């Protein structure tokens, strides 16, 4: 659709950025924090462990001051379950409550809206040993944790996100270090989708609890959503793209919003004898969730064609899928450039994704992640020139404005990441932040913060409420 005039960003648009606890905080076993699955996993060879990360735990004041300098209206961060409950259940760690009280208060001091993710890839190690999401008790564990969060922080936190990228936990759990398959499991697919079902029920219960305990708060999910194109106009390729979209995207959003399983995925699971078991009451729980908005992470689209029926290996990273036998085969997009780390760059697909989500679910949307991972370099005069990031973000923000002009309801934009942190599996050298952290993979150097060029650029974008997206900083 070609628009003659663009609609402005809403006055209360939440400009900000995101991080997650296990990737940014460090202090991984300090002040009573218990280990999470991320602390005990074997990190990929050549990449940093997660003990120090950006040391946000000790430097949050400096970091929030820098975010305030950029003019942030919102900061999306996650709460480490094991800082609050070292064992995942049981005794609450007062030091953990204190840290997040301080972090929230620091945000509010600068009128930065805290947007809290309740679970971002960091299952308590103690609960991992009890089967993680494969154990039906995981529903109660998560609801208990969420109740503690609502009780302690609900007086100040107005925006909540349940589970970060549940679809990636399900599709690429081993890549991000989160999947536990019980020994002796004979039907892995069924096991994976049973875990997924427990997450669906857990987050639905947490949403209902949030509405009951905090009537003024808003809560939503945060899956990784991006549309998948058919390779050609061959009708078979369109059917394949429908399969792929159902498996990656709609399964999750259909369940969150309508409380129903996507029919295409259900039919596929049935054929594989992999449908999850429902406990009594699950159907009703799913139907009673009602998110207030859809949070979603967007990095890039993908392409697929009709499956030739052979196994291709499935999802290989959050953004790449080689295909599922009988559903679709993944192919490269010849029209798009990629980042230094091989992820395709598709700003127009961002608009397409926003339009598609809105036309299916009609809920306001919050972009909870979007961004470019790159090998940024600190120059001798203490600067980081990252024009590629400015270009990436500018092009994506332009597409949000087009989507707003298409009458899609957008609440805010929180790209990944506020500050450099550790990537899920590619170390600290895959940097995303507006704020550079002076450390390398294994050398902690000074840990000083440095404003990248994109820092100044984003500051201007926020100051003009998105009216000035020009390259000048």
Residue 93 vs 317, nearer CB to ligand BG6: 317
Least Cβ distance, residue 350 to ligand BG6 (angstroms): 15
Residue 152 vs 178, nearer CB to ligand BG6: 178
- Cα Rg for the chain, rounded, in angstroms? 21
Residue 120 vs 394, nearer CB to ligand BG6: 120
Least Cβ distance, residue 412 to ligand BG6 (angstroms): 17
The SS3 call for residue 315 is strand
Residue 85 vs 429, nearer CB to ligand BG6: 429
# binding residues, ligand BG6 (CB under 6 A): 16
Stretch that binds ligand BG6, among 344-352, 356-364, 420-428, 440-448 (CB under 6 A): 420-428
CA distance 96 to 27: 11
Q: Which residues contact 301 (CB under 8 A, 6 or more apart)?
A: 226, 227, 228, 229, 333, 344, 346, 349, 352, 353
Our answer to whether residue 165 is catalytic in this structure is: yes
Tokens at 362, concatenated = 């009609």
Least Cβ distance, residue 222 to ligand BG6 (angstroms): 8
Reported residue count of the chain is 473
Site mask, ligand BG6, residues 307-336, x = CB under 6 A? -----------x------------------
Query: Following CA atoms 253, 402, 456, 79 in sequence, which dihedral angle do they give, to the nearest 10 degrees?
Result: -10
Greatest Cα pair distance, the chain, in angstroms, is 64
Residue 18 vs 401, nearer CB to ligand BG6: 18
Q: Among all chains, which residue has been given the structure tokens 């735990």?
A: 57
Nearest to 84 by CA among 49, 53, 119: 119
Tokens at 146, concatenated = 């969420």
Residue 165 vs 254, nearer CB to ligand BG6: 165
Nearest to 315 by CA among 133, 123, 166, 175: 175
Residue 276 vs 373, nearer CB to ligand BG6: 373
77 near ligand BG6 (CB under 6 A): no
- Comparing every residue's Cβ against ligand BG6, the nearest one is 423
Least Cβ distance, residue 368 to ligand BG6 (angstroms): 8
Tokens at 306, concatenated = 């009709």
Least Cβ distance, residue 221 to ligand BG6 (angstroms): 13
Chain Cα centroid distance, residue 49: 21
Query: Are 120 and 145 within 8 A, CB to CB?
Result: no
Please return the burial class of 239, using the count of CB atoms within 10 Å of its CB with bins 0-12, 13-18 and 19+.
Answer: middle
Name residues contacting ligand BG6, limited to 170-199 (CB under 6 A).
none
430 near ligand BG6 (CB under 6 A): yes
Tokens at 429, concatenated = 């050298």
Least Cβ distance, residue 162 to ligand BG6 (angstroms): 13
| The binder of ligand BG6 chosen from 69, 87, 292, 426 (CB under 6 A) | 426
**CA-to-CA separations, 144 to 100, 180, 338, in angstroms, rounded:** 18, 21, 42
CA distance 75 to 92: 25
Name residues contacting ligand BG6, limited to 17-56 (CB under 6 A).
20, 23
Give bridge partners of residue 410 from the DSSP assignment.
Answer: 365
Least Cβ distance, residue 420 to ligand BG6 (angstroms): 11
Per the residue annotation, which of 25, 113, 165, 344 is the catalytic one?
165
373 near ligand BG6 (CB under 6 A): yes
423 near ligand BG6 (CB under 6 A): yes
Least Cβ distance, residue 195 to ligand BG6 (angstroms): 18
| The binder of ligand BG6 chosen from 297, 300, 301, 370 (CB under 6 A) | 297
* CA atoms lying within 13 Å on the CB side of residue 309: 0
The SS3 call for residue 367 is strand
H-state helical runs in 378-452: 387-405
Stretch that binds ligand BG6, among 52-60, 187-195, 200-208, 418-426 (CB under 6 A): 418-426
CA distance 323 to 331: 8
Per the residue annotation, which of 113, 191, 356, 369 is the catalytic one?
369
Stretch that binds ligand BG6, among 122-130, 164-172, 304-312, 345-353 (CB under 6 A): 164-172
Stretch that binds ligand BG6, among 177-185, 281-289, 417-425, 457-465 (CB under 6 A): 417-425
113 near ligand BG6 (CB under 6 A): no
Chain Cα centroid distance, residue 182: 26
DSSP assignment letter at 433 = -
Least Cβ distance, residue 173 to ligand BG6 (angstroms): 12
224 near ligand BG6 (CB under 6 A): yes
Residues that bind ligand BG6 (CB under 6 A): 20, 23, 164-165, 168, 224, 297, 318, 369, 373, 416, 423-426, 430
- Residues with catalytic annotation? 165, 369
């Amino acid at each position: 659709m070609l628009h003659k005039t663009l609609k402005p960003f809403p006055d209360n648009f939440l400009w900000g950025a995101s991080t997650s606890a296990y990737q940014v905080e460090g202090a991984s076993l300090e002040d009573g924090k218990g280990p999470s699955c991320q602390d005990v996993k074997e990190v990929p060879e050549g990449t940093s462990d997660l003990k120090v990360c950006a040391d946000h735990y000790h430097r949050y004041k400096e970091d929030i001051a820098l975010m305030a300098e950029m003019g942030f209206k919102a900061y999306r961060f996650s709460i480490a379950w094991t800082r609050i409950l070292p064992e995942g259940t049981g005794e609450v760690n007062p030091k953990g409550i204190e840290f997040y009280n301080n972090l929230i208060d620091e945000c509010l001091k600068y009128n930065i809206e805290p947007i809290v993710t309740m679970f971002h890839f960091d299952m308590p190690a103690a609960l991992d040993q009890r089967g993680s999401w494969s154990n039906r008790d995981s529903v109660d564990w998560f609801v208990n944790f969420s109740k503690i969060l609502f009780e302690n922080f609900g007086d100040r936190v107005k925006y909540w996100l349940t589970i970060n990228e549940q679809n990636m936990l399900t599709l690429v759990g081993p890549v991000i270090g989160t999947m536990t398959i019980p020994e002796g499991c004979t039907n892995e697919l069924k096991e994976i989708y049973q875990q997924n079902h427990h997450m669906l029920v857990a987050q639905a219960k947490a949403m209902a609890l949030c509405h009951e305990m905090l009537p003024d708060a808003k809560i939503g999910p945060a899956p990784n959503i991006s549309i998948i194109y058919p390779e050609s106009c061959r009708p078979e390729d369109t059917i394949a793209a429908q399969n792929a979209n159902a498996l990656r995207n709609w399964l999750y959003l259909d369940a969150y919003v309508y409380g129903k399983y996507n029919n295409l995925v259900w039919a596929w699971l049935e054929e594989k004898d992999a449908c999850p078991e429902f406990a009594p009451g699950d159907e009703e729980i799913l139907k009673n969730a009602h998110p207030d908005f859809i949070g979603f992470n967007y990095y890039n689209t993908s392409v697929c064609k009709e499956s030739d029926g052979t196994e291709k290996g499935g999802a290989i990273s959050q953004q790449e899928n080689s295909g599922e036998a009988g559903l679709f085969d993944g192919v490269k997009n010849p029209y798009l450039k990629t980042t230094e780390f091989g992820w395709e760059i598709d700003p127009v697909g961002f608009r397409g994704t926003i339009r598609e989500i809105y036309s299916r679910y009609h809920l306001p949307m919050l972009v909870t992640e979007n961004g470019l991972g790159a090998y940024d370099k600190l120059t001798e005069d203490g600067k980081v020139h990252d024009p590629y990031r400015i270009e990436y973000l500018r092009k994506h923000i332009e597409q949000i404005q087009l989507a707003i002009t298409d009458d899609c309801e957008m609440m805010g934009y929180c790209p990944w990441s506020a500050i450099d942190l550790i990537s899920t599996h590619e170390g600290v050298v895959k940097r995303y932040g507006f704020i550079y952290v002076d450390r390398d993979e294994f050398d902690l150097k000074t840990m000083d913060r440095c404003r990248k060029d994109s820092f100044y650029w984003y500051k201007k974008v926020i100051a003009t409420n998105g009216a000035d997206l020009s390259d000048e900083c």
